[in-house]
Structure 1
Amino acid sequence: MGTLFVGGALTLTLGALAYPSMLGVSQASTAQDRIIAQTQWGPLTEQDRDFVVKVRAAGLWEYPLGQIAQTKGTTPEVKEAGKHLIDGHAALDAACRKIAPMLNITIPNVASPQQVGFVNTIDSSSGQQFDSNFANILRVTHGSIFNAIAKIRSTTKNSLVRSLADMANDTVLDHMTVMEKTGFVNFDQALFMQTTPPKLPATDLTPPAPQPGAPMVVLTPPPNPTSTPLGIPGENNANGGGAAPAAGASPTVG
C-alpha cells in the first residue's frame, strides 16, 4: 500500500497537468514542443505551459506538508526540511502567479485528487513513521522533477519560463538536500521509485480547473523568507493576478 502510494505521488509530480478542455488542445494528440503562443518573451510551447502548471501544483501539496512537518516532525532536521518546503514553494508560487497571466496560462487553485490524498496519507502517520514517509516521498518526487527541470531549462525559448526553471532548479536541489539531511531517506527505494513510476489515469493526475470568479489561493511566505523572489524587468503586477496574501494556503479575494 505504502509503496504503491509513493509511486502514485511521483507520477503526480511528473504528469501533464494542463486543462485541455479549457485550452482547446488534446494532450494525447499534440507534441510537447508544439508552439501554442508567440509572446514578447519568446515562443511558448506545450511543455513550457505544463511546466508552469506543474510548479504551481507542486506547491499546493508540498507547502501544506511543510506546515504539517512543523508540528508532527519528531526531529529538528525534519522540522527544518518542512521550513524549506514552506519558504521555497511560497516563492515559487509567487513566481507562477506573476508569470501565468503574462503568458495567458491557467493555473490551478487546488491540487489533484491524488495529491490531496497524498497529503492526507502523510498526515495520518505519526512518530518516526511520519518522518520516514515525509522524507522518502519528498526525496523521490524532488529527485524526479529535478531531471524534468533540466530539460525545460535547456530547451525553452521563453525567457519567463527559463527564469522560473532557474528558480525551480535551485529550490528543488535545496529540498532534496534537506530531505537527505534528515537521515530517513532510503536511497535504494528512492532510485527505484524514480525510475519505475506506475501509470495512473489522467483524472487522478489533473488538478481541477479553477472555478470562474473564484479567489486565487496564495501560499504565504514565512515571516523571514530566504528564497529570492523572481525578478522580471519592467513587470508591473508584483503579486501576480492581484490576489492578496493569505494565511497558509487559504483562498483570498483579489
Structure 2
Amino acid sequence: MAHHSSTAPLTTAGGLAALCLLTACAGYTPTPLPDTAALDAAVTPQPTSTLAPPEGDTGTVQTKWGPLSELDRDLVRKVRLASLWEMPMAQDAIQRADAARVRQISQEIAAQHHTLDRQVRDVAAKLRITLPVKPTEQQQAWMTDISGRSGPAYDATYVKWLRLAHGQIFGVIGTVRGTTQNTLVRRFSEQANAAVLNHQRLLESTGLTTPESFPTPPS
C-alpha cells in the first residue's frame, strides 16, 4: 500500500473532520456494484416519496440499490462517527507520538480515514442518510484522555482507545454484511471491514497492545 502523509495537526475538538477508509487489505477487491443503468431500467418507477426516508429517518425504505434498513443506516453513521474522532487523533499522533512506529502508522490511518470519509459521504448522499457532525460523548472522552498525555503514555493510550473502537464496530459490520439487501451498503460494508481489520493490524504492529489495552472479557 502506498503511504500517504497527512500533516494537518489537531487544533480543537470542534475541528473534527473527515474519516477515510480505503479498501485496505492487499489484494482485496470489493464486490462490484451492479450496472445502475440496468438497474434503473429494471426497477419500476416509484413516486419520489417512497424513495426518500420517512420523517425521522427511520424504517426500511426502497432505493434503486435495494431496501435500506435502519441497521444499514446505523452502520453508515457509525463509520462517519469513527472518522470524526479517529481522523483528527491520527493527525495529532503524527505530530505528538513518542515512538516513530506510532507516527508512521498514524499517517496510514489518517490517510485511509480521509478516503473513507469521502466514501461514506457519497453513500449517505445517494441513500439520503443524515450523518452526524460531531463525535459522541464517549469518543470525545477518549480524545481528551489521549490529548492530555505525553511521551510513551500518549502512545499507549492512543493505541488502546483506537483499537478498542475498531473492535466495537466489527460486530455491526458483520451483521450488516450478512443481512443487508442493499447492494450499495453491502459493498460499503466490505470496504469498511477491510479498513478496520487493516487498522487493527497497524495498531497491533506498534507492540503497545498489552493486556491492559484489551477490554475485560465477558464472564
TM-score by length of structure 1 reads 0.61
Secondary structure of 1:183's partner? Answer: coil
1:111 aligns with 2:135: yes
- What amino acid sits opposite 1:64 in the alignment? P
Runs of 4 or more above 4 Å deviation: none
Counterpart pick for 1:23 among 56, 70, 78: 56
State which of 65, 68, 86 in structure 2 corresponds to 1:41: 65
Q: Distance in 2 between matches of 1:24 and 1:174?
A: 31
Is the contact between residue 77 and residue 178 of structure 1 (CA under 8 Å) also seen in structure 2? no
Distance apart, 1:189 and its partner CA: 4.5
- Is residue 2:197 matched to residue 1:173? yes
Measured after TM superposition, the shift of residue 188 of structure 1 is 6.1
Matches within 5 A, 1:133-152: 133-152=157-176
Displacement of 1:81 in angstroms is 2.2
The verdict on how the C-alpha distance between 1:24 and 1:91 changes in structure 2, with shifts beyond 3 A counting, is closer
Gaps of 5+ in 1: 1-21, 26-34, 197-254
Name the larger-Rg structure.
2
1:153-168 aligned within 5 A: 153-168=177-192
Cα deviations across residues 51-88 of structure 1 (Å, max 9, x unaligned)?
Answer: 10110110000001101111111112111221122112
Identity of aligned residues (%): 36
Other structure's SS at 2:132 match: coil
Paired AA for residue 158 in structure 2: F
- For the residues of structure 2 that align with 1:115 and 1:165, how far apart are their CA atoms? 22
Q: State the Cα distance separating 1:116 from its structure 2 match.
A: 2.2
* 8 Å contact from structure 2 (residues 147, 154) kept in 1: yes
- In the comparison of the two structures, how many residue pairs are matched? 166
Q: Please name the residue that 2:28 is paired with.
A: none
8 Å Cα contact 1:66/1:86 also seen in 2: yes
Separation of aligned partners in 2, 1:140 and 1:43: 31
Quote how far apart the aligned CAs of 1:164 are.
1.1
> Any idea what the Cα deviations from partners look like across 1:159-193, whole Å, max 9, x if unmatched?
11111111111110111001101111124641426
Please state whether the residue corresponding to 1:192 is helix, strand or coil.
Answer: coil
Over 3 Å counting, the alpha-carbon distance change for 1:124 and 1:188 in structure 2 is: closer
Q: CA RMSD in A?
A: 2.0
Tell whether 2:125 aligns with 1:101.
yes
TM-aligned CA distance change 1:79 to 1:176, over 3 Å: same
**2:152: which partner in 1?**
128
Unaligned runs of 5+ in 2: 1-54
Deviations 1:133-174 (A, max 9, x none): 011111112122123211111111111111111111111011
Give the letter for the 2:76 counterpart.
V
Contact 2:87 2:113 in 1 (8 A): yes
Q: How far apart, in 2, do the equivalents of 1:110 and 1:188 lie?
A: 28
Q: CA deviation at 1:24?
A: 5.8
Displacement, 1:101? 1.6
Q: C-alpha distance in 2, partners of 1:84/1:38?
A: 36
Q: CA 1:112–1:189 in structure 2 vs 1: closer, same or farther (change >3 Å)?
A: closer
Structure 1 residue 128, shift from structure 2 partner: 0.5
Q: Aligned pair in 2 of structure 1 residues 189, 128: CA closer, same or farther (>3 Å)? A: closer
Contact 2:81 2:134 in 1 (8 A): yes
Q: Deviations over 1:197-230 (max 9, x none)?
A: xxxxxxxxxxxxxxxxxxxxxxxxxxxxxxxxxx
Equivalences for residues 185-224 of structure 1 within 5 A: 185-187=209-211, 189-192=213-216, 195=218
Summarize the Cα distance change of 1:134–1:170 in structure 2 as closer, same or farther, 3 Å threshold.
same
